[in-house]
Amino acid sequence: MTHNHRLLTLTGMALLLGACQPSSDTMQEAGATADARVASVAPAIETTGAEIGDAASTAGAMAADAGGTVVSIAGDAGAAAQDVMSDRLTARVWQWQGTVATDGSATKSPDPAQYTLTFAAGALVVMADCKEAAGTYDADEAGTMSVHVKVTTTDECGAESRADAFVEQLGRVTTWQVDGTALVLGMADGTTTMNFSAR
């Protein structure tokens, strides 16, 4: 009796397991459904990847444009600063009033109208009493300057003339500063300045 009871129990469990096990058709349908879902999601993944790529390309292009804009602005600012400096120096004729040093020594201009400087795009025209001179100069917005002058006439202007001293001092100029209608040229010793006023 006990043996028959165990046989019935095992038989019932086998039937139960057989009922719970999915059929091969069911498994095939589940696999097909999963494949369909993967196929439907794949285009979305590809689209998202393409969008990310496009976004990266757009960001790169915007960065390049921004860099070009910065360079352009910097170039424009540099050109504007150069124009301002040029206007301050070249828009007038400068008359020499005299040269002074911090130790109190000074050279007064006998006649400011006869000792003049005219700056023009790197070129310099000098009138030193009865003598004429020409030269070049380099200047920047930071206030540094170098001047190279050559006298083009050999006339003797007289005992009271300061022509030679005027030209010699110009050759020692290392700085410049414009304040309204006043031009101050500083010499290399750092203690002597040539002072001009605009005509």
Q: Tens digits of per-residue pLDDT, 9-19? A: 444 444 444 44
Q: Of 190, 176, 192, 186, which Cα lies nearest the Cα of 90?
A: 176
| Domain count across the chain | 2
Range of the domain at 107: 92-198
Task: Let me know if residue 133 belongs to a domain.
Answer: yes
Task: Let me know if residue 159 belongs to a domain.
Answer: yes
- Report d(CA 47, CA 29) in Å as an integer: 28
Task: Let me know if residue 7 belongs to a domain.
Answer: no
Looking at 33, 62, 86, the residue that finishes a domain is 86
In the prediction, which pLDDT does 45 show?
A: 46
- Report d(CA 88, CA 74) in Å as an integer: 21
CATH number at residue 141: 2.40.128.270
Task: Let me know if residue 33 belongs to a domain.
Answer: yes
Domain co-membership, 112 together with 38: no
Span 143-193, pLDDT tens digits: 999 999 998 888 889 889 999 999 999 999 999 999 999 999 999 999 999
Query: How much is the average pLDDT of 93-120?
Result: 96
What share of the chain in percent tops pLDDT 70?
Answer: 58
pLDDT of 29 > 70? The answer is: no
What share of the chain in percent tops pLDDT 90?
Answer: 48
Domain co-membership, 174 together with 105: yes
pLDDT of 75 > 50? The answer is: no
For the question of whether the overall pTM of this predicted structure is more than 0.85, the answer is no
Domain co-membership, 178 together with 101: yes
Domain co-membership, 131 together with 194: yes
Domain co-membership, 139 together with 62: no
Q: 136 Cβ partners below 8 Å, 6+ apart? A: 122, 123, 124, 147, 148
> What is the 3-class SS of the chain, one letter each residue?
CHHHHHHHHHHHHHHHHHHHCCCHHHHHHHHHHHHHHHHHHHHHHHHHHHHHHHHHHHHHHHHHHHHHHHHHHHHHHHHHHHHHHHHHHHCCCEEEEEEEECCCCEEECCCHHHEEEEEECCEEEEEECCEEEEEEEEECCCCEEEEEEEECCCCCCCCCCCHHHHHHHHCCEEEEEEECCEEEEEECCCCEEEEEEEC
DSSP lists the bridge partners of residue 99 as 107, 194
